Structure 1
Amino acid sequence: MTLARSLVLFALAALAEIGGAWLVWQGVREHRGLLWIAGGVVALGVYGFVATLQPDAHFGRILAAYGGVFVAGSLAWGMIVDRFQPDRWDYAGAAICLIGVAVIMYAPRG
């Protein structure tokens, strides 16, 4: 259950942070206004809160692992929302990052 909870929390954190950053981007770069920016700021705050719910107690480990989730999640967001088409190097880089996440978070520790 701890592994499933951790994976769900990483997915929620990715949605909140990537979505929040995207909303700020839309508000500023696409001139959609302050409500978009405010929504992004709220979503980024939610991300910060969700990260604290991870079962592991080490801030550095959680944030380091989340970096890999962010890389893969950002590419997925770009594909779904912005119709970005990653190339094989994007996919390879994301896979390497996710392997890093697995090692950092789920390797057996004594």
Structure 2
Amino acid sequence: MLTIGAYVGAAIAEIAGCFAFWAWLRLGKSPWWIAPGTLSLVAFAYLLTLVESEAAGRTFAAYGGVYIVASILWLWLAEGHRPDQWDVTGAAVCLVGTGIILFGPGVA
């Protein structure tokens, strides 16, 4: 349960942090957006350290699927663009990959 919470929190923090920079550089928002964006990216990195794993690479790889799903949700909920069938299918495939990495026989 801690792993799921860490991954979800990390995804929210990463997307929010990256969006802050996007808003500043691409949407013409104030440079003050950088400060909370940077703090959010620090929180993202910290949250990934909470995942129980012997290998950072495996943690990051499994997180990738969660990030993709969260990005599709951000597209829809924060930006108002409804995901199409390809977005949803791609995200589902990525979650299957995340599950294989997290629950495969090689994971201790």
Q: Deviations over 1:45-104 (max 9, x none)?
A: 110111011011210001111111111110001111001111111100000000111110
Matching of residues 44-55 of structure 1 within 5 Å? 44-55=41-52
Structure 1 segment 11-26 matched on structure 2, within 5 A = 11-26=8-23
Runs of 5+ unmatched residues, structure 1: none
Identity %: 35
Work out whether residues 24 and 38 of structure 1, in 8 Å CA contact, stay in contact via their aligned partners in 2.
Answer: no
CA RMSD of aligned residues (A): 1.2
- The equivalences for 1:1-110 within 5 A come to 4-109=1-106
* Paired residue type of 1:88: Q
Structure 2 unmatched runs, 5+: none
Residues 20 and 41, structure 1, Cα contact 8 Å, conserved in 2? yes
Q: Secondary structure at the match of 2:5?
A: helix
Letter of the 1:38 partner, please give it: A
Output the CA distance in 2 between the equivalents of 1:50 and 1:59: 12
1:14-70 deviations in Å (ceiling 9; x for gaps):
000011111111111111112112211111111011101101121000111111111
In structure 2, distance between residues paired with 1:106 and 1:80: 30
TM-score, normalising length: structure 1: 0.91
Tell me, in whole angstroms, the C-alpha distance in 2 between the residues paired with 1:57 and 1:27. Answer: 37
Partner Cα separation in structure 2 for residue 49 and residue 57 of structure 1: 16
TM-score (structure 2 length as normaliser): 0.93
